[in-house]
Amino acid sequence: MRVSVFFYDVPKNASKKVKFFREFYGVKQKVNGRSYGGDGFLVENRIKSYKPGKGAIMISTNYKRKVLAYLNQNKIKHEFFDMSLSNRYYAGLVHNG
């Protein structure tokens, strides 16, 4: 299985950092029984991901162009590389549907 690992630098400004994480990963919260928030970029595009550490994300290479376009559009500094992994360890990154 081919995967892409992205390393990104989030903005230093706290409000921009929160905005990036909410737009990229999404946020859902309940206040007084009402739901707020929404799906992020990854959920909207049905991209399964694995977060190996702070400032990194691992996705299937099928979605590399979408993630690259999103990071470039939002002016997020990033680096990435592709690699092969055994299916049995990261089979959850493959989205069938």
Residue with tokens 């690992």: 5
**Residue 45 above 50 pLDDT?**
yes
Give mean pLDDT, residues 21-43: 85
We report the CATH number of the domain holding residue 8 as 3.30.70
Compute the average pLDDT of residues 63-69: 92
Q: Which residues are CB-contacts of 51 (< 8 A; sequence separation ≥ 6)?
A: 57, 58
Mean pLDDT calculated for residue range 12-38: 85
Report the pLDDT value the prediction gives residue 87, as an integer from 0 to 100.
Answer: 62
pLDDT at 97: 40
63 vs 29 pLDDT, higher one: 63
Q: For residues 33 and 77, what is the distance between their CA atoms, to the nearest angstrom?
A: 38
pLDDT at residue 56 is higher than 50: yes
Number of domains comprising the chain: 1
Q: What is the pLDDT of residue 2?
A: 82
Indicate the burial class of 78 (C-beta count within 10 angstroms; 0-12, 13-18, 19 or more). Answer: middle
Task: Answer yes or no: is pLDDT of 52 > 80.
Answer: yes
Chain mean position to CA 64: 11
Provide the pLDDT for residue 11: 84
Name the nearest CA neighbour of 24 among 54, 57, 65.
Answer: 57
> Against a cut of 0.85, is the pTM above it?
no
| Cβ contact 78:9 at 8 Å | yes
